[in-house]
């Protein structure tokens, strides 16, 4: 295609990875869901004047879609130069913000975009000073650590519960293969649990 950064090949590679990892080996292909990639570029690579191009997989002559599961968006910020702020809101306003429109124009961008207003407020807050950014980053790290600790404790409790259940069922004389089906543990794991 058209650019020195191999954007199109990288896009297809990342799309295929996302698509591939949706199911495990042996699972039904019907479980695969549509994957959409969005490339926001600060350079031009497509040979047209459109700032937003959308690609799908279609038959060349009839245009019949092979499948709707692939959708690739290429957004080129360099092609927004003459775009005016849209009072209706939408994609153009978000892209102008991402492109770095001057702060005096921020108010016009947010007229019908409450989420864009929130993004601008957050950016303003984070841009205040280094100490504020560090405090924000520390808070976000703390929240992530809390989620990890909670999930870890839950998983540990769940595993401990399975081990207790396996011991109890084994003591009642239930066959190990039945315990494995009931607990989700392997027969080897159950052997280790009941031998201690």
* Domain ranges across the chain: 1-82, 149-195
Torsion of CA 172, 175, 181, 185, to 10 degrees: 80
Categorize the per-residue pLDDT at 57 as very low, low, confident or very high, splitting at 50, 70 and 90.
very high
Q: Is this model's pTM higher than 0.85 or not?
A: no
Tell me the pLDDT tens digit for each residue of 27-56: 999 999 999 998 888 888 888 988 889 999
Q: Work out the mean pLDDT of the chain and round it to a whole number.
A: 78
Cα angle 28, 32, 34 (rounded to 5 degrees) comes to 165
User: Strand, helix or coil at 61?
Assistant: coil
32 burial via Cβ count (<10 Å: 0-12, 13-18, 19+)? middle
């Amino acid at each position: 295609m058209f650019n020195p950064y191999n954007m199109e090949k990288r896009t297809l590679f990342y799309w295929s990875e996302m698509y591939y990892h949706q199911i495990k080996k042996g699972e039904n292909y019907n479980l695969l869901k549509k994957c959409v990639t969005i490339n926001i570029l600060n350079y031009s690579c497509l040979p047209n004047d459109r700032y937003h191009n959308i690609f799908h997989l279609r038959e060349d002559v009839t245009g019949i879609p092979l499948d709707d599961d692939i959708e690739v968006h290429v957004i080129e910020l360099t092609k927004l130069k003459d775009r005016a702020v849209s009072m209706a809101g939408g994609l153009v306003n978000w892209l102008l913000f991402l492109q770095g429109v001057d702060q005096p124009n921020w108010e016009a961008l947010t007229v019908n975009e409450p989420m864009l207003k929130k993004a601008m407020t957050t950016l303003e807050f984070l841009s205040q000073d280094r100490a504020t950014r560090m405090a924000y980053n520390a808070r976000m790290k703390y929240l992530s650590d809390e989620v990890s600790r909670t999930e870890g404790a839950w998983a540990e409790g769940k595993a401990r519960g399975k081990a207790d259940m396996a011991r109890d069922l084994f003591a009642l004389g239930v066959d190990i293969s039945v315990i494995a089906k009931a607990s989700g543990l392997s027969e080897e794991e159950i052997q280790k649990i009941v031998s201690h």
